[in-house]
Structure 1
Amino acid sequence: MFETLTPQTPDKIIRLMQMFCDDARMGKIDLGVGVWKNAAGQTPVMAAVKDAERRLVETQDSKSYIGLAGDPAFLNAMCGLLLGPDADAGRIAAVGTPGGTGAVRQVLELVRLARPGCTVWISAPTWPNHPALIDTVGLQRRDYRYYDPATGAVDRKGMLADLGALQPGDVVLLHGCCHNPAGADLARTEWEALASVLAERGAVPFVDMAYQGFGAGLDQDAAGLRILAARLPEVLVAASCSKNFGLYRDRVGMAMALCADATARDTVQGTLAWLNRQNFAFPPDHGARVVQTILDDAALCDSWKTELEAMRLAMEANRRALADALRDATRSDRFGFLAAHQGMFSLLGLTPGQVARLRDDHGIYLVDDSRLNIAGLTEATIPVVAEAVAKVL
């Protein structure tokens, strides 16, 4: 059997994690893997998560199955977080998934069943697992222009021009906020222009919301999604709680579809539950119940929002400090765009060779495309990184 297998290409981020672990040098710096780190370089459990888990331990009296869609209270709480208090529940089909990646996969499986011949459009660049998952599911894909490396901003004209070629039923994969890897986000006017193009072309947006709260704030980060939900009959969403709740290893996600009417909603809900059954059956519950407990309790929710805001502000401060340090080290403003980006990531614009020199000569680990995890920086490492970048230029 196994003699027919051929080696798979390793995921570049997973490979980078292993390279960092194998590096015995003191003072090595991990800016590749997308996890939040505090000033001490640690990824702590959020206080509200600890409190919610204590409550679960004390009150939960069963570990029996809940249902193929997962916990309804979790799904309702997440829909409110994403769409706001005025969301039309009659349009929403949703299921729990193992993390945001599981959510992306389940949405793509839904697309494959509904529109097997459609094209899924992805931004250039995008998260490396997006094209991999699309290819694995067996859907066609096509790039649209998104990021202009010359300006460090969104290529609005290029994006809208490319999406002018959309066909009815095509799917456009969008980063809800904190674009990974570019860090450059759409402005409100760009979301509105995008909604108009999608409506005119009869295409369906698929919003990957992995970093809500890490950009401009919880509601601000969901503004683009809410514009699409208000103006379009169908919207697909994959949401993750890995980053904003710090539940990386607990794998908490949700796949959601906004439908044109209640009849379509019932069909989609049943299909999503069926897809869960064919894949992993019942989604994980512990982390989902933690999220639901936090969102439905005013005191815990306030605690979580306060800590999340502190994380967001720390990343903003890291951005400004790195931009300033790079300006001093390179005697230029070529990296000034970093301060205007949002979220955990930005592209430095280095060549693969320069990224390799950062790793080999300085023990600084970035993804080959020069994606930098802003949350991995500390006050102590920012000047070190800036000097190293100046040396490899």
Structure 2
Amino acid sequence: MLGNLKDQPADKILMLMASYREDPRDDKIDLGVGVYKDPDGNTPIMSAVKKAEERLLKSETTKSYTALSGDPAYAQAMRELVFGETGAADRVAAIATPGGTGAFRQGVDLIRMANPGATIWVSAPTWPNHLSILKTTGTPFVEYRYFDATTGGVDFDGMVADLNSAKEGDVVLLHGCCHNPTGANLTADQWHRVAEILLERKLVPMVDLAYQGFGDGLDDDAQGTRILAETQPELLVGASCSKNFGIYRERAGILFAIGDASDTKTVQGNLNHLNRQNYSFPPDHGPRIVTTILNDPQLRAEWQAELEEMRSGMLALRKHLADELRQRLNDDRFDFIARHRGMFSRLGVDADKVEAMRRDHGIYMVGDSRLNIAGLNARTVPILAEAIAKTCA
């Protein structure tokens, strides 16, 4: 049996990480892996997280299973964080999941149970694991235009035209903020227009909210999701705590399903069923850290201050890089980097130039020219700007 297996395609980012480790150059720069790094190149544990863990260590009396859906206090705390005042509790079903990836996978499985004929529309480009999961599950998907490589912004006219061709019952996958891999986001007016199209075409939105707090702030980053929660009869939202709480390895995610209040009990039962079939009970340590922080005013304030420092640091790096490139190239072609939000930006240069920067300058970024802004610091920004200028002039 096992001899019938075929080698799977290697993950491009993991391959990039391996190449970086093997590179002997002292001045090499890793801009590929998608984790936040501080100016010293470390991914720190937030002080609020440490304090929450200390409390849990002292207060926990059992390591027994939680409910199939996870701890109800986690669902409530996350519902308030994501939806604010717009998330009517009687319309919301939720399950804890292993990270945002688990939330997306469970969401896809729920769609397949509820409407096997649905096609999922995904932005071009999107996070590669979206496509991998859709292919693995045999779920039909179509790309809609999203990123304009010429302007570095959203091709909104193309997006609207493509979504207007979707059929009733199809699902539209949207990045809630800090679009991965491009960094280009919808404006509030554009979110409202998308909401109108979804209603007109009777489409179901599914939001991947992996970076809340990394773009323009916790509430601003949830604005698009909240617009949909207020206007759509049905909505799926997968949220991750990996980035904004810095607990990557704890795998703390959640899937929300919003529909008619009369259906909530049935929807919740189906979500519980999915957890049972896939991994039985979800992880609890990460969600309990999050719940502890969000429900304690002092810890929450400390966490938000740390998160704001991370967010403002990335914005400063964006401006620094855009300014350095403008100075070297004497044009504004890369000014869009300062307008992007979150950890990533896509430069919009071809794979040959990306490879040249790796070969000649030790700059490691994904082949589609996605770079992790959080992998930079004040010292390395000019080095990257010089490499881009020499390669792309």
TM-score by length of structure 1 reads 0.98
**Contact 1:112-1:137 at 8 Å conserved across structures:** no
In 2: Cα distance, 1:63 partner to 1:78 partner: 22
Deviation at 1:247, TM superposition (A): 0.5
Matched, 1:316 2:315: yes
In 2: Cα distance, 1:49 partner to 1:85 partner: 26
In 2: Cα distance, 1:117 partner to 1:12 partner: 31
Where 1:189 maps in the other structure, the secondary structure is helix
In 1: Cα distance, 2:51 partner to 2:105 partner: 31
- Could you tell me which residue of structure 1 aligns to residue 253 of structure 2? 253
- Could you tell me which residue of structure 2 aligns to residue 63 of structure 1? 63
Instruction: Show CA shifts across 1:329-383 (max 9, x none).
Output: 2222110111111111111112111111111221111000000111111000000
Where 1:379 maps in the other structure, the secondary structure is coil
- AA aligned opposite 1:181: P
In 1: Cα distance, 2:103 partner to 2:184 partner: 23
Matches within 5 A, 1:260-339: 260-261=260-261, 263-339=262-338
Deviation at 1:391, TM superposition (A): 1.7
- Could you tell me which residue of structure 1 aligns to residue 162 of structure 2? 162
- Could you tell me which residue of structure 1 aligns to residue 228 of structure 2? 228
- Could you tell me which residue of structure 1 aligns to residue 7 of structure 2? 7
Where 1:281 maps in the other structure, the secondary structure is coil
- Could you tell me which residue of structure 2 aligns to residue 354 of structure 1? 353
Matches within 5 A, 1:63-212: 63-212=63-212
In 2: Cα distance, 1:86 partner to 1:330 partner: 46
Deviation at 1:155, TM superposition (A): 1.0
**Contact 1:95-1:254 at 8 Å conserved across structures:** yes
In 1: Cα distance, 2:105 partner to 2:121 partner: 15
- Could you tell me which residue of structure 2 aligns to residue 364 of structure 1? 363
**Contact 2:180-2:344 at 8 Å conserved across structures:** yes
In 2: Cα distance, 1:29 partner to 1:238 partner: 32
Matched, 1:391 2:390: yes
Deviation at 1:89, TM superposition (A): 0.5
Matched, 1:52 2:52: yes
In 2: Cα distance, 1:28 partner to 1:74 partner: 41
- AA aligned opposite 2:307: L
Alignment size in residue pairs? 392
Unaligned runs of 5+ in 1: none
- AA aligned opposite 1:252: A
Deviation at 1:85, TM superposition (A): 3.5
Where 1:101 maps in the other structure, the secondary structure is helix
In 1: Cα distance, 2:86 partner to 2:110 partner: 26
In 2: Cα distance, 1:310 partner to 1:94 partner: 30
- AA aligned opposite 1:157: D
Instruction: Show CA shifts across 1:70-113 (max 9, x none).
Output: 11101110010000035211000100011111110000010011
- AA aligned opposite 1:256: F
In 2: Cα distance, 1:220 partner to 1:297 partner: 22
**Contact 1:70-1:282 at 8 Å conserved across structures:** yes
Instruction: Show CA shifts across 1:184-203 (max 9, x none).
Output: 10001100000000001110
In 1: Cα distance, 2:125 partner to 2:229 partner: 25
Deviation at 1:25, TM superposition (A): 2.1
- AA aligned opposite 1:215: G
**Contact 1:147-1:154 at 8 Å conserved across structures:** yes
- AA aligned opposite 1:253: G
- Could you tell me which residue of structure 1 aligns to residue 213 of structure 2? 213
Deviates most, 330-339 or 114-123? 330-339
In 2: Cα distance, 1:165 partner to 1:51 partner: 50
Deviates most, 207-216 or 31-40? 31-40
- AA aligned opposite 2:349: L
Deviates most, 271-280 or 294-303? 271-280
In 2: Cα distance, 1:286 partner to 1:254 partner: 14
Instruction: Show CA shifts across 1:218-269 (max 9, x none).
Output: 00000100010101110001100000000111111001101122x3111111
Unaligned runs of 5+ in 2: none
- AA aligned opposite 2:382: P
**Contact 2:99-2:252 at 8 Å conserved across structures:** yes
In 2: Cα distance, 1:371 partner to 1:133 partner: 21
In 2: Cα distance, 1:260 partner to 1:237 partner: 15
In 2: Cα distance, 1:101 partner to 1:20 partner: 25
In 1: Cα distance, 2:19 partner to 2:58 partner: 41
Identity %: 55
Structure 1 residue ranges (4+ consecutive) displaced by more than 4 angstroms after TM superposition: none
In 2: Cα distance, 1:337 partner to 1:350 partner: 13
- AA aligned opposite 1:172: V
- AA aligned opposite 2:71: D
Where 2:100 maps in the other structure, the secondary structure is helix
- AA aligned opposite 2:145: R
In 1: Cα distance, 2:250 partner to 2:360 partner: 36
In 1: Cα distance, 2:20 partner to 2:68 partner: 38
In 2: Cα distance, 1:320 partner to 1:116 partner: 45
